[in-house]
Amino acid sequence: MSSAKAISHCGAGCVLGDTVGEWLVLATGMTVAGKPLYADFLMNFTLA
């Protein structure tokens, strides 16, 4: 039971981080090396 709780807690945090990261990149127009996809990768990795 404790592993199921840990897995769902981690999964929920990653989903929230990915969702917020996508909107932050879109709202700020952030790019890395001129590409917004790289900024998405960086933001998602950082927040998740």
For 8-33, what is each residue's pLDDT tens digit? 777 777 888 888 989 999 999 999 99
Q: Whole-model pTM above 0.85?
A: no
Model pLDDT, residue 27:
95
Write b or e for each residue in 7-22: b if 16 or more Cβ atoms lie within 10 A of its Cβ, otherwise e. eeeeeeeeeebbeebe
Model pLDDT, residue 23:
93
Q: Crossing angle for the helix pair 36-47 and 2-28, nearest 10 degrees?
A: 150
Token output for 15: 């989903």
Looking at residue 13, what DSSP letter applies?
H
Model pLDDT, residue 10:
76
How many residues are recorded in the chain?
Answer: 48
